[in-house]
Structure 1
């Protein structure tokens, strides 16, 4: 554990990837509205698999921050912090979608509204979203609903519960040195359950078995960090050109596999392995691509706003489509350039939600709050 505590690193490039891949998920959700090769291509149409990068990176980052949870009180604090981090924006966006459903019905006499009654958005799915169980099988739920990306926030929360409970069990039973065996066992159990569901290693589930997908990716990330923790002192001294080669190869393989995602999704574990390799290599930030990414200020902002971009984009795509396609009568082919305008809107809205929701409602310990009060006094 001393090695882990000695790592003082921001992992800036991994944050940047979070922003880039959140932007690609935006393009994935925009593509059904468009008629342009810019968005209608195999790479964009399979970019939903980048969600698994978020799960793996989350496990990596959480393992960096939490190598020890020794009792129920520490577990409660861990889960409280995670809820404060993800729930406020999730709740805000859920209410925004409720408002949009109400507005659709009020405006229907004046504006042509597609899907006036979305059967997926109902009272039952409202409560599954509200209580973050919208990545688990619930009788009567047959599709993603409300804020479509929110199923992955549910899956993330499930992964936190399993990780936190397991970590407490590991420490109270004195099994810390064997922790990676337990983490690997969780991965195998998740894969076995997914195999039971589909008879393959397909992992791209959402409203039903997305929680298994989240747990699988999360614990892959936990093991990735533990490998980084055990090897970083030696590996970081390797020549920079080796890291550059590794960065180029992993990104090329990810691009290739995403492009051929339709064929590879039945072997979804491939994406877990690739994201594992990508996160491990880029965590050292020693290759030429890492240096280049870190020199671009906009990419840092994308990383900073990535959660907001991910959570706000579905609503803003819908509103944007109503304005430009339904009201202003732009052709769907106009998305060859309108996607830039749409993303700029998402970027600025995300900057606002980051500042006013994410940061405003983040967890503050009583000690920090007391210190803040003393400074004000």
Structure 2
């Protein structure tokens, strides 16, 4: 089907699971706080030391949402149009995150890094970030796959999952999905055992850990939707937010290689089942919508400040009181900044590109 034959209904956004949207926002804020805290404390002293598991929650939620949004219409819209819609949804903020990361790298007042990089080298690093081509070459950034915007590693794997879905998974039977999910669960357990945790995926050294993390969680989310494993409950947004935060606040221990896989393999899929079936109180609906809307812009724009904060901390060594106010204020300001980016840049760009797609 080409663009000229697309009906508006095929590209129309479906009704959202508002509580799941809200939980995505909670996870995004948690990972921002985690990134602040990991600059200051080793994992055993970081109160939100498992905040990085929010990425696995994102992956599981993505599988569920993609199945819900596209299973019944990807055949009509075609693979190419599906991929274009995903590109429109995700890539404007990939570009923005790269631009912000470049500015932070070039004009960091607390620690200049660009003096050893030629203009050509910086152009290559920036281009790889914009095009989501892994390029772990910057030692000052711990050889992140994407040195200018570290969280983009998960977007790289999100794109891979979307392509695999379009090419094969949307046609896969439930039994095949179950088999693939079990195999991916085995990979998660192996990584947890061999590495002692599930923190990898963001660096060149742990590149394939990201493949395992997206494989299991995305497949699990898709399997939940296909199997209609929706659990009715009265937990609501607040109750489920508390349950989600418990996973991130889980103490660091020598048993991380067991507890982290258990959270990813069982606990997060259970929360998706509960979130899809939970009753939404009218009083928190707007909060859930805002939380869901802000989650992706926050995730893709916050790391610019984290690099600056890391260099500031190394240079000035602020005390505990100063850190409390810096991290608290920084998190709130990043939420506000993400909202501005969403309203001023992301929504208008996506609206323009979507209109172009509908018009063919």
- The TM-score normalised by the length of structure 2 is 0.76
Task: Report the equivalent of 2:4.
Answer: none
Q: Is the 8 A contact 1:250 1:277 kept in 2?
A: no
Q: Alignment length, in residue pairs?
A: 330
**SS of 1:18 mapped into structure 2:** helix
After superposition, what is the alpha-carbon deviation per residue over 1:57-82, rounded to whole angstroms, capped at 9, x for unaligned? 11111100111466697111111111
Q: 1:87 to 1:190 in 2, by over 3 A?
A: same
**SS of 1:147 mapped into structure 2:** coil
Which residues of 2 match residues 207-246 of structure 1 at below 5 A? 207=202, 208-209=207-208, 210-228=210-228, 236=232, 243-244=234-235
Which residues of 2 match residues 1-377 of structure 1 at below 5 A? 9-34=15-40, 41-68=45-72, 74-104=78-108, 112-113=110-111, 126-134=126-134, 142-144=143-145, 145-167=147-169, 170=171, 179-193=173-187, 200=194, 203-207=198-202, 208-209=207-208, 210-228=210-228, 236=232, 243-244=234-235, 251-252=242-243, 255=246, 258-267=249-258, 268-272=260-264, 273-286=266-279, 290-291=280-281, 295=284, 297-319=286-308, 330-331=318-319, 333-362=321-350, 363-366=353-356, 368=358
Q: 1:309 to 1:118 in 2, by over 3 A?
A: farther
Question: Which has the larger Rg?
Answer: 1
Task: Report the equivalent of 1:375.
Answer: none
- The TM-score normalised by the length of structure 1 is 0.73
| C-alpha RMSD over aligned residues | 3.9
Distance 2:156 2:357 in 1: 30
Q: Is the 8 A contact 2:44 2:251 kept in 1?
A: no
Distance 1:337 1:186 in 2: 46
Deviates more, 1:143-152 or 1:242-251: 242-251
Distance 2:261 2:324 in 1: 33
User: Which runs of 5 or more residues in structure 1 are unaligned?
Assistant: 1-7, 105-110, 171-175, 237-241, 371-377
Q: 1:124 to 1:261 in 2, by over 3 A?
A: farther
**SS of 1:295 mapped into structure 2:** helix
CA positional deviation for 1:204: 3.2
Q: 1:125 to 1:31 in 2, by over 3 A?
A: same
After superposition, what is the alpha-carbon deviation per residue over 1:156-213, rounded to whole angstroms, capped at 9, x for unaligned? 1111111111146x2xxxxx6xx12222233234345556667559543213021331
CA positional deviation for 1:261: 5.0
